[in-house]
């Protein structure tokens, strides 16, 4: 397989390094990733500035292409400008921190995979549900397995897989659950501060302590020690509401 890898933590993050090393066993890997941290940029693309790309080395060897844009930019660049062959698979990650519930809307990791799906390529977003002492080995190994399943079975057009793993060694994983997206999000607020020049500024902060009664959700799978695999799509239409909205008989 020709595999394009990106992320939102930046090309020098440990998660993408582990992912590329693992997936190199499954095919020819090309890495195109942001040159620095781009977390929570969502599906933003760059249209008012040029995108600058430089070759990036790791451990003294060429690793991939560092781009000045977002994860979605990187996928576009990889497919349309850098790779000589169209990729068979796009994988975004391994993200430091889970991407669950409504937070997939903000996630640069998920958006990298979404861009791949928009361009008609089977795509996976993979995240490790921790910010402390991450062990990427199980997530990297699972990415290779899942790539094989995607190659064998394919994905419906417009659908990608959002994968989240608990931060435990492979031997302690309970298994895999196919899940739905939970209705959870960060509880955020703004810390009001003053800079040395007397100007007010705000720094967003928050916590993530949600509850979800739906046992089939991504959140509860992770809490129970399982890998969560959620098929998601980018058609945001509320089809159930269309008929009712038509009954409003809205006029111009």
pTM as predicted: 0.94
Superfamily of domain 2-183+213-246: Survival protein SurE-like phosphatase/nucleotidase (3.40.1210.10)
pLDDT average, residue stretch 56-75: 97
Per-residue pLDDT band at 15 (split at 50, 70, 90) = very high
- pLDDT, one tens digit per residue, over 120-129 is 999 999 999 9
- Residues 73, 46: Cα–Cα separation, whole Å: 7
Strand duo 159-165 + 227-233: pairing: antiparallel
Average pLDDT of the chain?
A: 95
Going from N- to C-terminal start, the domains of the chain cover 2-183+213-246
Residue 112 confidence (pLDDT) above 90: yes
- pLDDT, one tens digit per residue, over 218-251 is 999 999 999 999 999 999 999 999 999 999 999 9
Residue by residue, what is the 3-state secondary structure of 166-226?
CCCCHHHCCCEEECECCCCCCEEEEEEEECCCCCEEEEEEEECCCCCCCCCEHHHHHHCCC
pLDDT average, residue stretch 53-62: 96
Per-residue pLDDT band at 72 (split at 50, 70, 90) = very high
């Amino acid at each position: 397989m020709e595999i394009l890898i990106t992320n939102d933590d930046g090309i020098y993050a440990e998660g993408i390094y582990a992912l590329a090393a693992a997936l190199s066993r499954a095919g020819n890997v090309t890495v195109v990733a942001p040159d620095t941290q781009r977390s929570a940029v969502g599906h933003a693309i760059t249209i008012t500035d040029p995108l600058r790309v430089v070759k990036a080395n790791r451990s003294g060897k060429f690793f991939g292409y560092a781009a000045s844009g977002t994860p979605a930019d990187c996928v576009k660049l990889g497919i349309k400008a850098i790779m000589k062959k169209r990729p068979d698979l796009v994988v975004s990650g391994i993200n430091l921190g889970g991407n669950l519930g409504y937070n997939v809307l903000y996630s640069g990791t998920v958006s990298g995979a979404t861009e791949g799906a928009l361009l008609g390529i089977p795509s996976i977003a993979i995240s490790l549900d921790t910010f402390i002492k991450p062990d990427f080995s199980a997530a990297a190994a699972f990415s290779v397995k899942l790539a094989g399943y995607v190659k064998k079975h394919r994905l419906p057009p417009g659908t990608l897989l959002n994968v989240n793993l608990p931060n435990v060694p492979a031997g302690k994983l309970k298994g895999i659950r196919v899940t739905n997206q939970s209705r959870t999000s960060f509880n955020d607020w703004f810390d009001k501060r003053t800079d040395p020049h007397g100007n007010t500024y705000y720094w967003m902060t928050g916590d993530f302590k949600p509850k979800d009664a739906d046992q089939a959700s991504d959140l509860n799978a992770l809490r129970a020690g399982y890998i969560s695999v959620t098929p998601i799509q980018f058609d945001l239409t509320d089809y159930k509401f269309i008929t009712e909205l038509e009954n409003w008989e809205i006029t111009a």
